[in-house]
A = this chain, B = another copy of it.
Amino acid sequence: MVKVRISDVAAAAGVSASTVSLALNKSDARIPDSTRQRVREAAEALGYAPSSLARGLRTQRTRTVGLISDQIATTPFAGRMLAGAQDAAREQGHLVFLVDTQGDAVIEQDAIAALSAQQVDAMIYACMWHQVIPAPQGLPAGTVFLDCRPEEGGYRSVVPDDRAGGMAAVRELVAAGHRRIAYLDTDDSPIASTLRYEGYRAVLADAGIELDPALHVRAETSAMGGRAGAEALLDLPVDRRPTGIFCFNDRMAIGVYTAAHHRGMEILRDLSVVGYDDQQLVAAEQDPPLTTIALPHYDMGRWAMEVALGVRASGEEDATHLMECPVVRRNSVGPPPAQVAKPSRRRATHNRTAAEGGPDL
Q: Indicate whether A235 reaches chain B with its CB closer than 8 angstroms.
A: no
Report whether B86 and A98 are in contact in the complex, using a CB–CB cutoff of 8 Å.
yes
Q: Are A117 and B74 in contact (CB under 8 A)?
A: no
Give the oligomeric copy count: 2
Q: Decide if A273 is an interface residue (CB 8 Å cutoff).
A: no
In the complex, A49 Cα to B261 Cα: how many Å?
60
Interface size on A, residues (CB 8 A): 52
Find residues 64-116 in chain A having any chain B CB closer than 8 Å to their own CB: 64, 73-76, 79-80, 82-83, 86, 90, 95-100, 102, 107, 110, 113-116
- Least Cβ–Cβ distance between A93 and chain B, in angstroms: 8
**Of the 9-residue stretches A38-46, A160-168, A209-217, A280-288, which lies at the interface with chain B?**
A280-288
- Chain B residues near A64: list those with CB within 8 A: 97, 118
Cβ-neighbour of A117 out of B50, B76, B99, B115 (below 8 A): B50
CB distance from A229 to the nearest CB of B (A): 14
Tell me whether A57 and B49 are in contact (CB under 8 A). no
- Which residue of the partner chain, among B99, B251, B254, B258, contacts A86 with CB atoms under 8 Å? B99
Q: Mark A318-331, 1 if CB is under 8 A from B, else 0.
A: 00000000000000
Q: Which residue of B lies closest to A67 (CB)?
A: B98
Give the dominant DSSP class at A's interface: helix
Q: Tell me the nearest residue of chain B to A280, going by C-beta.
A: B76
- Considering the complex, give the chain B residue whose CB is closest to the CB of A94: B114
Cβ of A75: which chain B residues have Cβ within 8 Å of it?
79, 280
Question: With the chains together, A53 CA to B64 CA distance in Å?
Answer: 12
A349 within 8 A of B: no
Scan residues 110-156 of chain A and give those whose CB is less than 8 A from a CB of chain B: 110, 113-119
A53 to B114, CA, bound (A): 11
Query: A86-B74, A282-B282 are known contacts. Are A52 and B251 too (CB-CB below 8 A)?
Result: no
Contacts of A282 in B (CB 8 A): 281-282
Complex formed: what's the CA distance from A57 to B5 in Å?
Answer: 13
Chain B, residue nearest A97 (CB): B95
Q: Hey, which chain B residues are within 8 Å of A96, CB to CB?
A: 97-99
3 smallest beta-carbon distances between A and B, as pairs? A76-B76, A74-B83, A223-B285
